[in-house]
Amino acid sequence: MESVEENVDGILNICSSVGEVADACQDLARYTGVPIVRIDEEMCREAVRQGQRIGVMATLSSTLNPTKNTVLRVAREMGKHVEMVDALVEGGFGLNPDQFRELMTKYAKEIADKVDVILFAQGSMAYCEQYIADIIGKPVLSSPRFGAIALRRAMEAKGLM
């Protein structure tokens, strides 16, 4: 509400762990005219479009369930059934980018045969997206570009762009 009182044009929720809070505020967003856009919602929709077996990778357990819940919700909205496969990437904190990419690749390879598409539950993983997709030969999705597009659409719908 402080943001609404400050006359913001929109709110971009960039944390998957609290995405369900953003969902709970959607009626308020419509009432105030300030859209609340989740960085990961369109990514989850795209995952459902691309496959039935969806892998969710995260370095924090607190992001796994909220992301999986979003995938399941959008699948229901789209009238599709999905199966979820988790990959909790342990030991990722403190690694340099190359070490982290290799650790992510290890976990992605472990679930690759069980999924049609992999999505990253944290935007900070995005730099590994294409690298891992090339290695496992399956789509890998991360939220930053989807969130940016969704925010732009929200601003266009308000006539601001």
Q: Which two tokens stand for residue 68?
A: 């999986």
Cα 110 to Cα 54: distance, rounded to the nearest angstrom = 13
Q: What is the pLDDT of residues 90-123, one digit of tens each?
A: 998 889 999 999 999 999 999 999 999 999 999 9
Question: Residue 153: enclosing H or E segment and its boundaries?
Answer: helix 143-157
Q: How far apart are CA 6 and CA 27, in angstroms?
A: 19
d(CA 71, CA 121): 11
More confidently predicted of 144 and 27: 144
pLDDT at 98: 95
Is pLDDT of 68 > 90?
Answer: yes
- pLDDT at 45 (0 to 100): 97
pLDDT of 41: 94
DSSP of 12-38, one letter per residue? EE--GGGHHHHHHTHHHHHHHT--EEE
Mean pLDDT of the chain: 94
Whether 49 has a pLDDT exceeding 90, the answer reads yes
Is residue 156's pLDDT more than 90? yes
| Distances 122 to 6, 34, 38 between C-alpha atoms, Å | 28, 24, 12
CB atoms within 10 A of CB 29: 17
pLDDT digits (tens, 9 = 90+) for 10-47: 999 998 888 888 888 888 888 999 999 999 999 999 99
Query: What value does the CA radius of gyration of the chain take, rounded to a whole number of Å?
Result: 16
Is the predicted pLDDT of residue 78 greater than 90, yes or no?
Answer: yes
The set of residues, in sequence order, having a beta carbon less than 8 Å from that of 96 and lying 6+ positions away, is none
